[in-house]
Structure 1
């Protein structure tokens, strides 16, 4: 820790006696003091503070803050405006559109979306920094919040959407205006995946979706061994009921419904991340609703081998 030396000089009546006995002036602490009495409180000490050594690093400051907090720092939320009516509160998997202004800890504005357009993300799917993802949950349309995000919850990959937000601040302060909340449904999820809006998914489209998530939001596979081309091929086979290499919306919804039923039939205590209804859906190989650490580690090899759970119905039966 930076050493701090405090030199304390107490000026007592004996020290100042010369001033009161007719001395013209006295240089005290670098200041010329007037002669005579009546304008100087003899009991006030003069303190000189000097700092020596290098200032503390950001990491040292964060460590001291966490020690003072008794553990890892969490976000802090201030609700500055809540509308009288709130028919829908934002929750995991919902699609939310919002404006924000972001400030550093010393209240310096870094960036704002006003003038460029609001941001739309899906909550709980890795499209945004963890602290802000948490801070947006529970919001209503038109609600205003101030969300303070500590360093450990503000980390994210550089991307088009988040490129203006610094990565090295101890705290970031976001002023949020919630514009719109679209509750999750499988139908809305498919439209999110369907980049060209033709009501079907192709191998190339699935690859393009992965590229878009990385470029715009910094979202990538947690397992760096996963190849986008192989993952796209696995994804199509997983949902393609009639084996024609194209996944229609009807096919996709049918397989999602099958998987949801499998998840509901299982009660797992496995640790990991909740299943992502986007491309990451295929990581949950045992269909228990959780992508375990083991599943994530084995994903590249399992994608190479192809899906073991294949759609069994023909397209005529859908």
Structure 2
């Protein structure tokens, strides 16, 4: 609109003619029409075309089984929250129950990362976390091999818990969240080699950083959009990188996280709504989706207790 006023109409016409039909109605004809109209003005270069000398990038999905108290808490909350969600939907209907649905799914996602994230007394008593145990075992080995590690999470509070673990292990680290005041100093410390691990929140450091000192990226929790996840990975895998880059995506096996991972392909908008708490985007949730998201963990033994969610 700035370069060619009126080419796509004013904001109201664009919203009516393209945005609403495409985003809300999934109108493929309007999408193709818009693409055809703007294509002559687009110049797109793929990363592979302009950075042909980049070292290889290896991506691994690490599936971790929830066990013991963490598994028990997940299943107890899943049953309790599922019942509450069904009751809410029966009273108000699915379209008017999204806030409760998103809150319930958030709690289950938090349990997958670390039960202490959940604002419930019973949850904070659970000290077991499959992902944290994996990190405690794996990270010292990585650092011992001279690897430099970026750890991304959507939960800033989780980074605080990881910070405690790094202090206990004696591993020097940098940290970047929305509350970080000395951002340049944290980046410089990592790039110069003073710190070996960089804890980064999604919103604060998913884009715009050049961290080529890193050769290892850990995504602690799944992202709704593979493209956004790749952008975070590209803080390390970019021009200037001279080492192979290894990417680890931690997933609680058989849980809500694994189902969100599956949704990233066919239902990206729905996955985004769940992970970002966007009630508008999550309005695409169907009864079948809810059944899948609240499905029980497979295998293992579970002890269920009463927890007020």
Q: Do both proteins adopt the same fold according to a TM-score greater than 0.5, normalized to the shorter chain? A: no
Structure with bigger gyration radius: 1
Specify which structure has the higher proportion of strand: 1
Give me the TM-score of the superposition, normalised by structure 1.
Answer: 0.22
